[in-house]
Amino acid sequence: MNEMKFVVYGVEVHSPVILPVSISSKGISSQVLRLQTHHSNKKKKVFKYKTPVAEIHGRITQLYTNIPFSSSRTLIERYWKINIEGLFSFVWGNASENMIIEYENELDLEKLSFWLLHTIVPIYLMLKQSSLLLHASVVEVNGKALLFVAPSFGGKSTLADFFIREGHSLLSDDKVRLEHMDENYFVYPSYPYRRPYREFEMLGKHTKYFSDRPLALGSIYFLNYVEPKDDCSIESILGLHKFEILKNAYLYEPVSMSKIEMGYLMHLVKNSKVYQINMPKDLTRLSEVYDMILEHTRSDREFLL
């Protein structure tokens, strides 16, 4: 039987079906996830506890589990299920490397690729509580990872796309996994697709400029749109404002943040550099923003180490 293997977010994924994506299997991984596909049947595992429904990418989604959410997420006997209305469900247990994909009709491989890579693997990692997961676009500058954070439609992917067109490598378009190792944070790449303009259930454009190895974290830039004719500027963010920005970027939905995750967040606040870049809302001025960020990194001695 043919099997597809690839690495995303530091997870080595084994798929029994060939997905219509181009992703390397040579990336550095710290864990394995083995997919299985099953037609739905009447003998489904019953999950007593569930989160409120949420609309994600135009579809109703819901998270289920067999143990109250108030208990530790990492209990060996805990199982999880995420249902994507009209498409499929993803089911896995904490004690296993396996994830079952249940579907009723024909398996849509394009949509499966999107949901698995863009949403399910990050949530899978978040529920394990072993990593930091952020909503961010990430590019490589001088061998380090530069993170762009902002509210939805705040310009993260647009700015990252400009950097890629200037020859920088992409690490992630939308979500990123960070690990603290050797007194530094390292950023694991996601997959080599980018969406400078959002479309539901589409991975976007494939890019050949992609880093398939983790890079040390350089700086985090919070994108703040200003009027089209205003000046572009960069300022340091400290204290409570820094905490609020990183908390808003932290991936912990659809469940509430745990004490473990709060500890991760506080450590990141203390051990990272966060800046606000006031970015004119004018696509013709992206080159100014790009030049200012590069000059800012050159002036930061720690960034160049």
Grade residue 133 by pLDDT with cuts at 50, 70 and 90.
Answer: very high
Please say whether the beta carbons of 70 and 49 come within 8 A: no
On the question of pLDDT at 43 being above 60, the answer is no
pLDDT confidence of residue 152: 82
114 and 155 assigned to the same domain: no
pLDDT digits (tens, 9 = 90+) for 184-201: 899 999 999 998 777 788
- Asked if residue 232 and residue 97 are part of one domain, the reply reads no
Q: State the total domains in the chain.
A: 2
Q: Are residues 182 and 288 in the same domain?
A: yes
Whole-number Å distance between alpha carbons of 260 and 72: 10
pLDDT (average), residues 171-191: 92
The DSSP code sequence of 206-275 is E-S-B--S-EEEEEEEEEEEE-TTSPPEEEE--HHHHHHHHHHHB--TTSPPPHHHHHHHHHHHHT--EE
pLDDT band at 27 (very low <50, low <70, confident <90, very high): confident
Residues 242 and 164 reside in one and the same domain: yes
Mean pLDDT on 284-297:
96
Is the pLDDT confidence value at 241 over 90? yes
Q: What is the mean pLDDT of residues 275-299?
A: 95
pTM: 0.92
| Same domain flag for 174 and 74 | no
Same domain, 98 and 148: no
Residues 149 and 242 grouped into a single domain: yes
Q: Are residues 97 and 63 in the same domain?
A: yes
Residue 85 has a pLDDT of 93
Q: What is the CATH number of the domain that holds 300?
A: 3.40.50
- DSSP three-state, residue 197: coil
Q: Which of 99, 130, 161 is the last residue of a domain?
A: 130
Average pLDDT over residues 60-73: 92
Q: How confident is the model at residue 252 (pLDDT cuts 50, 70, 90)?
A: low
pLDDT surpasses 70 at 261: yes
pLDDT at 2 over 90: no
Query: What integer best gives the mean pLDDT of the chain?
Result: 91
Same domain, 108 and 152: no
The first and second tokens of residue 75, run together, are 């209990």
Mean pLDDT across 110-131: 93
Residues 120 and 166 in one domain: no
Name the domain boundary from 130, 154, 172: 130
175 and 69 within one domain = no
Q: How many CA atoms lie within 13 A of 10 on its CB side?
A: 20
Range of the domain at 140: 134-304
Last residue of a domain, one of 79, 107, 130: 130
- Give me 272's structure tokens: 């990272």
